[in-house]
Amino acid sequence: MPEANTRRRARGGGGAARRAERTAVRIETAKFIERNIPNFEILNEEALEIIETNAETVLAEVGVNFVDNPAALQRWKDMGADVEGERVRIPRGLARQLIKTAPSQFTQHARNPEKSVVVGGRNMVLAPVYGPPFVRDAHGGRRYATMEDFNKFVKLAYMSKWLHHSGGTVCEPTDVPVNKRHLDMLMAHMTLSDKPFMGSVTDPSRAQDSVEMCEILFGKEFVQENTVMTSLTNINSPMTFDDVMMGALEVYAKNNQACIISPFIVGGAMAPVSVAGTLTQVLAEVMAGVAYSQIIRPGAPAIFGAFVSSIDMNSGAPTFGTPEASLVTYGAGQLARRLGLPYRSAGSFCGSKLPDAQAAYETANSLNMGLMAGVNFMLHSCGWLEGGLVADFEKFVMDADQLGVLHGLAKGVAYDENAQAMDAIREVGPGGHYLGCAHTQANFKEAFWKSEVLDYKPYETWEDEGARDTRQIATGRVEHLLANYQQPQLDPDINAALNDYVAEKKASMPDAFA
Amino acid sequence: MPEANTRRRARGGGGAARRAERTAVRIETAKFIERNIPNFEILNEEALEIIETNAETVLAEVGVNFVDNPAALQRWKDMGADVEGERVRIPRGLARQLIKTAPSQFTQHARNPEKSVVVGGRNMVLAPVYGPPFVRDAHGGRRYATMEDFNKFVKLAYMSKWLHHSGGTVCEPTDVPVNKRHLDMLMAHMTLSDKPFMGSVTDPSRAQDSVEMCEILFGKEFVQENTVMTSLTNINSPMTFDDVMMGALEVYAKNNQACIISPFIVGGAMAPVSVAGTLTQVLAEVMAGVAYSQIIRPGAPAIFGAFVSSIDMNSGAPTFGTPEASLVTYGAGQLARRLGLPYRSAGSFCGSKLPDAQAAYETANSLNMGLMAGVNFMLHSCGWLEGGLVADFEKFVMDADQLGVLHGLAKGVAYDENAQAMDAIREVGPGGHYLGCAHTQANFKEAFWKSEVLDYKPYETWEDEGARDTRQIATGRVEHLLANYQQPQLDPDINAALNDYVAEKKASMPDAFA
């Protein structure tokens, strides 16, 4: 993105920007994951074809609902779909045909061009938790999230080596009016971080505000020609596309911005209890949604989403890190690749109330599954707690640390001459040890992933230091990171223009809290 | 095993046995895992061939040491190896040739024939932690393990649905003399459980005792014709086979009992820092060890073992659940399958001092990797803590619960007509929900894995019940299981004969504590 870089420098360029640059702390962000390992293909060709055929049957015979959206119904009619009331039945092959214009991968630009990401292909982009109304930390317990919490999460994401993306609603800032909080959230992502971020989907007008703020940040022409936001448009499974989400999608697609089109499924409630049945419904829903985005603007980036949990049949609670959710996630990845679409699924999912062992088992199950399933965009990749009701500060840095494991796994196995290490084996020989050998000395710095959170100290040292569990160690890391945060530089003119935009918008309407 | 069954019934058969049967609590044990999912193949053909060629080079040019074992050196000489001092250089192709007689899968018989396991093929058998000198629980903290602890772990393993195997040294009973504890340990496995178990390897005479106790339990002929023990013989990596481990292996192989032949590797210390280099050494070591077992008795069951951790280069501590360990585990699985040997690796590995989030992340990473890597025998599959120094009671039941996730994943995806669930999708339609539909009613009981430990309750209920973390919930489960334990029936004559054997053996030698 040299063009974005040049544009911003040309526009700012003053002494203030240069001073900011000199004092900025260098924050290390790993490049998005480029997998050098195979995807895990759980479905055979026969199963894939059955599911694909069944999904076409669902679209053609059962259909989907586009609710409170006459324009959408008219668009479908124009495309040759059978529209009856709000029900849209899509003839076999039509959705698949429409989807062909959607790109198999796209670049989402960040204002720092080094942090732009390529979504699709063999890549995986990691973004933090999205949506919780509550936050939790060890000191403050569980409480409604505020804008101050939101800002802290944006800072933590900015400082995380393994997060490539700043995310969107990292928590709901409940102290800001509902009709204005998207402005503050976007402002935080744009000014407290320089990683790519997400736009608002809670109302079409807020999607439009998101586009306009990006036009200030990136330049109007740049936004029309490039993708600078990815946004999460959920489908109300089963097979219902509501007007708010679709209204936001229409805004984003029209402006060439990316949409994750994502069934939201608690298995057994919003989809059949079987894996194959769930995959059929997921595929039908995504095909309808992506096809619709391509009707709005052929070529607009769209991501095959699948948010999948299973259910505790006793309580009805969604459950995470379960085998059934993993099987759906693997299968949906295959279906997405066969459609030629980037794939969004998995995350730091758990049902636990605390960042304890349950949380970590469930999260690790989900994260590993996400890597192996070929996920291209992993929303919720850190900080998720209690079924998504809570964004947890300690878990945020604990999970973010584990994302380093995914980076290490994705590297795969080198087998060049240095990696073969035959000289080392000859040098050390039977009964020796490798700690001091030449090959180890030359390679140890890059050889092993290193945790920034987990405890590897001897037992006695650990005990002397207070016998802290992971959560207690993470509390210290959260405090350390926030104390050392330094804001990335931003052209003061742009900053001022963004502030003006937000102030004007806020002044233009009364507060609304619902 | 109708033969074993009949034999025992014929021998016991009295009223005592029948009464015991009537009052016994039925304990559910899942069948060993039969994978209906692919293995994860991380190495391509070129990498595999390079590693295999390099391993032959290591055996031929560097060689391995058989220490304090002149008979072994003679055996190798007789086979055509180049023996120089204790160094054995094995000509290219010889080890691979010798290994051909080792079975690709074998049955390990349990005294309850329903619990016999088949090791190899697409199966996975799960056994508990092995070897820790310490135990820990929430009430008693960390302390040296005793025989009472040992018995408790055997009971917990017996009662676990997902453990197929009782294991071996589930903890070191440090209150029993070193030269006698194997007798008490075997007695516990034989009488407190009816699952398959492991023999002693700490001295060849103790391996012999293990065989003799099995002859009492199963009958002398049965033992000679069948495999009733699997035992863990570690290699002192790099490339050193000590006399104690090899002495035990000689006893077991001679008696047709299975040996896991397992390099014990902390990467960067006992093997090169690179994955490909470690795989080369692991393959060379296993080939030498398995070949040696086949020299002792062609056809004796042998398992390709790989205990692999990485290292914290700051402290030298072994680290677990890391990407590098996973990459080695995946690769070694491929090498084992190409040799036609069952594969042992992975487990509930972690470096954490507590059963906290660190423990669970690391464990879940290792367990998932074990399933995907095609592991056939997973030792340490529950209860491991603090790098294997501690067997933790709470973690034992927490991990054992997670083993159910592996069972669920291994089932793969059904796509028969019922699984396709097209009737359900038609019945529910857009905007409906699946909880009450006919397909859900017919299938929900089997549809989802159900945890026995994790908390899925609403937040308020959870808080009213004490806001317990996973460990606290697990404390309750440990107590509940032990309070409800009922000993499986055993023919009183066999029980008496085993007691006599142990008493005689103990009386025949003074206590030794080193």
Residues of chain B by 3-state class (helix, strand, coil), percent to 5: 50, 15, 35
Residue A269, min C-alpha distance to chain B (Å): 5
Backbone angles phi, psi at B286, to 5 degrees: -65, -40
| A471: CB partners within 8 A, 6+ apart | A138, A354, A355, A356, A394, A398, B356, B357
Q: Which of A238, A364, A426 sits opposite B360 (nearest CB)?
A: A364
Residue A380 clears pLDDT 50, i.e. is over it: yes
pLDDT at position B513 is: 83
Closest residue of chain B to A311, computed from CA coordinates: B448
Closest residue of chain A to B404, computed from CA coordinates: A323
pLDDT tens per residue, range A212-221: 999 999 999 9
Residue A11 clears pLDDT 70, i.e. is over it: no
Q: Which of B273, B276, B425 sits opposite A413 (nearest CB)?
A: B276
Task: Please give the angle made by the CA atoms of A301, A303 and B432, to the nearest 5 degrees.
Answer: 125
Residue A440, min C-alpha distance to chain B (Å): 6
Residue B17 clears pLDDT 70, i.e. is over it: no
What's the mean pLDDT in A383-410?
A: 98
Q: What pLDDT band is residue B514 in, cutting at 50, 70 and 90? A: confident
Are B470 and A352 an interchain contact pair (Cβ–Cβ within 8 Å)? yes
Residue A261 clears pLDDT 90, i.e. is over it: yes
pLDDT at position B27 is: 75
Q: From chain B, pick out residues whose CB is under 8 angstroms from the CB of A335.
A: none
**B306's tokens:** 């790989």
pLDDT at position A314 is: 84
> Checking DSSP bridges between strand B105-108 and strand B258-266, what pairing results, if any?
unpaired
Q: From chain B, pick out residues whose CB is under 8 angstroms from the CB of A143.
A: none
Three-class secondary structure assignment of B159-190: HCCCCCCCCCCCCCCCCCCCCCHHHHHHHHHH
pLDDT at position B148 is: 98
Are B459 and A63 an interchain contact pair (Cβ–Cβ within 8 Å)? no
B76-85 core/surface letters (b: 16 or more CB in 10 A; e: else): beebebebee
How confident is the prediction for chain B on average, in pLDDT? Answer: 94
Residue B7 clears pLDDT 50, i.e. is over it: no
Q: From chain A, pick out residues whose CB is under 8 angstroms from the CB of B236.
A: 431
**Per-residue DSSP letter, B486:** -
How confident is the prediction for chain A on average, in pLDDT? Answer: 94
Instruction: Give the number of A-B residue pairs with CB atoms closer than 8 Å.
Output: 411
Residue B237, min C-alpha distance to chain A (Å): 7
Tell me which amino acid residue A254 is.
K
Interface of B with A in 474-513 (CB under 8 A): none
Range with the poorest average pLDDT among B5-19, B222-236, B473-487:
B5-19
d(CA A37, CA A48): 22
**B18's tokens:** 């029948």
| Stronger pLDDT, A314 or B76, i.e. the higher one | B76
d(CA B306, CA A318): 37
Q: What pLDDT band is residue B15 in, cutting at 50, 70 and 90? A: low
Contact yes or no for A345/A381 (Cβ under 8 A): no
Residue B140 clears pLDDT 50, i.e. is over it: yes
Interface of B with A in 440-469 (CB under 8 A): 440, 443-445, 447-451, 453-459, 462-463, 467, 469
pLDDT at position A5 is: 37
Residue B355, min C-alpha distance to chain A (Å): 7
pLDDT tens per residue, range B350-399: 999 999 999 999 999 999 999 999 999 999 999 999 999 999 999 999 99
pLDDT at position A94 is: 98
pLDDT tens per residue, range A126-175: 999 999 999 999 999 999 999 999 999 999 999 999 999 999 999 999 99
pLDDT at position B85 is: 98
Place of tokens 């009016």: A177
Residue B348, min C-alpha distance to chain A (Å): 11
Q: What pLDDT band is residue A16 in, cutting at 50, 70 and 90? A: low
What's the mean pLDDT in B197-210?
A: 98
Contact yes or no for B252/B259 (Cβ under 8 A): yes
d(CA B115, CA B111): 8
Interface of A with B in 147-176 (CB under 8 A): none
Residue B11 clears pLDDT 60, i.e. is over it: no
Q: From chain A, pick out residues whose CB is under 8 angstroms from the CB of B440.
A: 268, 272-273
Are A314 and B456 an interchain contact pair (Cβ–Cβ within 8 Å)? yes
Residue A111 clears pLDDT 50, i.e. is over it: yes
Interface of A with B in 335-364 (CB under 8 A): 351-364
pLDDT at position B424 is: 97
Q: Which of B454, B457, B464 to mutate to test the interface with A (most CBs of A within 10 A)?
A: B454
- Helix/strand/coil for A235: strand
Q: Which of B280, B393, B425 to mutate to test the interface with A (most CBs of A within 10 A)?
A: B425
pLDDT at position B14 is: 52
Are B459 and A429 an interchain contact pair (Cβ–Cβ within 8 Å)? no
pLDDT tens per residue, range A239-248: 999 999 999 9
Q: From chain A, pick out residues whose CB is under 8 angstroms from the CB of B273.
A: 421, 434, 439-440, 443-444, 447-448
Residue B36 sits at the chain A interface (C-beta within 8 Å): no
What's the mean pLDDT in B75-89?
A: 98
Residue B411 clears pLDDT 90, i.e. is over it: yes
B226-248 core/surface letters (b: 16 or more CB in 10 A; e: else): bbbbbbbbbbbbbbbbbbbbbbb
Residue A22 clears pLDDT 50, i.e. is over it: no
**B386's tokens:** 């603090």
Question: How many CB atoms are located within 10 Å of the residue A341 CB?
Answer: 25
Residue A250, min C-alpha distance to chain B (Å): 21
Backbone angles phi, psi at B473, to 5 degrees: -65, -40
What's the mean pLDDT in A182-186?
A: 98
Interface of A with B in 196-235 (CB under 8 A): none
Domains in chain A, ordered, with CATH?
A: 98-411 (3.20.20.480)
Q: Which of A86, A454, A477 to mutate to test the interface with B (most CBs of B within 10 A)?
A: A454
What's the mean pLDDT in B177-189?
A: 98
Residue A18 clears pLDDT 70, i.e. is over it: no
pLDDT tens per residue, range A249-258: 999 999 999 9
pLDDT at position A15 is: 57
Q: Which of A415, A418, A462, A472 to mutate to test the interface with B (most CBs of B within 10 A)?
A: A415
Q: What pLDDT band is residue B18 in, cutting at 50, 70 and 90? A: low
Contact yes or no for B493/B216 (Cβ under 8 A): no
Closest residue of chain A to B442, computed from CA coordinates: A273
Residue B491 clears pLDDT 60, i.e. is over it: yes
d(CA A340, CA B153): 51
Residue A313 sits at the chain B interface (C-beta within 8 Å): yes
Q: Which of A54, A356, A435 sits opposite B356 (nearest CB)?
A: A356
Residue A19, min C-alpha distance to chain B (Å): 37
Residue A117, min C-alpha distance to chain B (Å): 23
Intra-chain end-to-end CA distance of chain B, in Å: 40
Q: Which of A41, A434, A460, A462 to mutate to test the interface with B (most CBs of B within 10 A)?
A: A434
pLDDT at position B349 is: 98
Range with the poorest average pLDDT among A18-32, A434-448, A461-475, B426-440:
A18-32
What's the mean pLDDT in B433-446?
A: 94
Q: Please give the helix or strand (H or E) that residue B427 lies within, else none.
A: helix B422-428
Are B274 and A420 an interchain contact pair (Cβ–Cβ within 8 Å)? yes
pLDDT at position B10 is: 39
Q: Which of A42, A45, A469 to mutate to test the interface with B (most CBs of B within 10 A)?
A: A469
Residue B154, min C-alpha distance to chain A (Å): 23
Quickly list H helices, B238-299: 243-254, 275-296
**A59's tokens:** 């679209």
Residue A353 clears pLDDT 60, i.e. is over it: yes
